[in-house]
Amino acid sequence: MSDAITLSGATLDCPNAQQLADFCAVITDGTVTFAGDSWATVDGPGGRIEFQTIPGYQPPRWPDPVSSIQVHLDFYVDERDATEAKARGAFTASHQTTGTPPDTLEATQPEPGP
């Protein structure tokens, strides 16, 4: 018997699981591996993200100090301009009806390899 725990993925509450999964699959070069009425899964090169539709979902407001940030995802990018174009295209392609595409992308350089 082992006491090892392995992270399977993160689950995000959202207004429409399928639409957000479609968007994230495009920007991460992942694949939507499950899509149901209230749940969707994206498996990608960096791991798995799960999405759960919550009726009446209200996203956090930032930088409103009264509204908590419920989750924050960071991605490494190689080229900011190309990545921003890809993300904006994925947003349009996902037909997401709530929210707006990000105004900014926070890009960091990966740590140099050996």
pLDDT tens per residue, range 33-61: 999 999 999 999 888 999 999 999 888 77
More confident residue, 89 or 106: 89
Residue 26 lies in a domain: yes
More confident residue, 104 or 71: 71
Burial profile 68-98: b = 16 or more Cβ within 10 angstroms, e = fewer: eeeeeeeeebeeeeebbebbeebbeebebee
Residue 87 lies in a domain: no
- Give me the domain span that covers residue 18: 10-55
Residue 37 lies in a domain: yes
pLDDT in tens, 94-113: 444 333 333 334 333 334 44
Residue 105 lies in a domain: no
Task: Give the pLDDT confidence score for residue 70 in this predicted structure.
Answer: 66
Residue 72 lies in a domain: no
